Amino acid sequence: MNQTEISVKIILDRWDASIKNLTSLLENLSDAALMKEIVPGKNRGIYLIGHLIAVHDDMLRLLDMGEKQYPELYEPFIKTPDNVNTAMPSLIDLRKMCIEQTNYLKQKFDKLSAIEWFDKHTAVTSDEFKTEPHRNKLNIIVTRTSHLQYHLGQLQLLK
Under the rule (CB under 8 A), what is the footprint of a second copy?
1, 3-4, 6-7, 9-11, 13-14, 18, 38-39, 42, 115, 118, 133-134, 136, 138-139, 142-143, 145-147, 149-154, 156-157
Quote the least distance from Cβ 124 to a second copy, whole Å.
13
The residue (of 39 and 92) whose beta carbon lies closer to a second copy is 39
The residue (of 18 and 69) whose beta carbon lies closer to a second copy is 18
What gap in Å lies between CA 118 and CA 120, rounded to an integer?
6
Contacts 24+ apart (CB under 8 A), 12-18: 12/109, 12/141, 14/145, 15/141, 15/144, 15/145, 15/148, 16/106, 18/145, 18/148, 18/149, 18/152
The set of residues, in sequence order, having a beta carbon less than 8 Å from that of 133 and lying 6+ positions away, is 118
What gap in Å lies between CA 48 and CA 151, rounded to an integer?
7
The residue (of 10 and 84) whose beta carbon lies closer to a second copy is 10
The residue (of 90 and 143) whose beta carbon lies closer to a second copy is 143
Is 136 strand, coil or helix? strand
Quote the least distance from Cβ 130 to a second copy, whole Å.
11
Quote the least distance from Cβ 10 to a second copy, whole Å.
5
Quote the least distance from Cβ 8 to a second copy, whole Å.
8
What gap in Å lies between CA 143 and CA 150, rounded to an integer?
11
The residue (of 65 and 142) whose beta carbon lies closer to a second copy is 142
